[in-house]
Amino acid sequence: MPCYSRHSSPDFPEAVLVLPRLASRFQPTHLLDIPCDAPPPQSQENARSSSDSSAQLPKVLGVEEVKEKLRSWTESAAATIRDRADRYTAVAATTFGQLGRELNKVTGYGEIESLKRQVAEQEQHIKAAREAAHGAKTALEQAVQQRAKSQREVNDLLQRKSSWTDEDVGRFTALVRQDHLYEQSEACAKAKASRTEEEVEREFTELMRVILNRYHEEQVWSDKIRSASTYGSLTVLGLNVIVFILAIVIVEPWKRRRLAQTFEKKVEEVAVETIGTFETKYGELSKQLKDQNMLLLRKRN
């Protein structure tokens, strides 16, 4: 194999000798200076994304805080509105109640309300009287049964009077004494039952009287309201007639005069505008005719 030196053959290319020098001069030293513990590009991107997320975290917290404040403000506003509505409702109910009472006093319906209360009270009274009458009847029935039982025992003893013993004599004496007491209690129960029946009848009569008074007062009140409504309707009708007559006598002529004046004013304005437009157009036309005459005269000359 022949050996060629740099000066032995003129045909040897010099680029072969220059390339090693250029390669040594342009070595990628920036790759050699990279430290060994430098993170890879992917880890740098992760670090960048973590820093971005940490930067966005206060923004997210700020939005949540704003939402919480807005929610609390909305709840407090709703509670305030609800309290005000309840307060206004209570005030309105009280006001309307007072207005209704005053209206009842004016119209006379207060007496009917008092009669209604009397009817309710009388119903309670008659209910109590009926309960008392029922109790008295029950006591009377018990007293009658006790006396009948005692009388049966007395009759039994009288039927075997010929064979009485000392015990039968004592029993007869006790039964006679007990029958006398039963008779007194029966009489008392009967009197009490009669009184309770009379009390029921009296309370029922009073209830009927109160109901009739209420019915009478309601009829009087309805007649009063009916007459008031009739007079009110007539008053409204009279006011409508008066307004109608005033409208025909005063308002309609005034409206016609106003309309005529407006129409005349509009006609005058339109006439003035038309005259002004006509004069303007006439002046322009006259000027054009004069110019044309002058041009004709110049051409003739």
- Is 98 part of a structural domain of the chain? yes
- Is 96 part of a structural domain of the chain? yes
Q: Is 40 helix (H, G, I), strand (E, B) or coil?
A: coil
- Is 6 part of a structural domain of the chain? no
- Is 28 part of a structural domain of the chain? no
- Is 23 part of a structural domain of the chain? no
Sign of CA dihedral 53, 58, 59, 61: positive
Indicate whether this model's pTM tops 0.85.
Answer: no
For residue 72, give Cα distances in angstroms to 39, 77, 89, 199, 207: 47, 8, 25, 68, 62
- Is 83 part of a structural domain of the chain? yes
User: What pLDDT, on the 0 to 100 scale, is given for residue 61?
Assistant: 53
* CA proximity to 123, closest of 47, 226, 45, 207: 207
Q: Digits of tens for pLDDT over the chain (301 positions)?
A: 333 334 433 343 343 343 344 444 444 443 334 343 444 444 444 444 444 544 444 555 567 778 888 888 888 888 889 888 888 888 888 887 787 777 777 777 778 888 888 889 989 999 999 999 999 889 888 888 888 888 888 888 788 777 777 787 788 788 888 888 888 888 898 899 899 999 999 999 999 999 999 899 888 888 888 888 899 899 999 999 999 999 888 888 888 888 888 988 899 999 899 998 988 888 888 888 888 888 888 887 6
Task: Give 268-296 pLDDT, tens digit per residue.
Answer: 999 899 998 988 888 888 888 888 888 88
- Is 95 part of a structural domain of the chain? yes
Mean confidence (pLDDT) of the chain: 77
Sign of CA dihedral 86, 88, 89, 90: positive
**Residue numbers of the domain that contains 98:** 59-107
Question: Residue 59 and residue 134: Cα distance in Å, rounded?
Answer: 85
Q: How many CB atoms lie within 10 A of CB 254?
A: 11
Q: Provide the number of structural domains found in the chain.
A: 1
Residue 243: both structure tokens together: 């307004």
Task: Give 222-269 pLDDT, tens digit per residue.
Answer: 888 888 889 989 999 999 999 999 988 888 888 888 888 898 889 999
User: What pLDDT, on the 0 to 100 scale, is given for residue 29?
Assistant: 41
Size (the chain), residues: 301
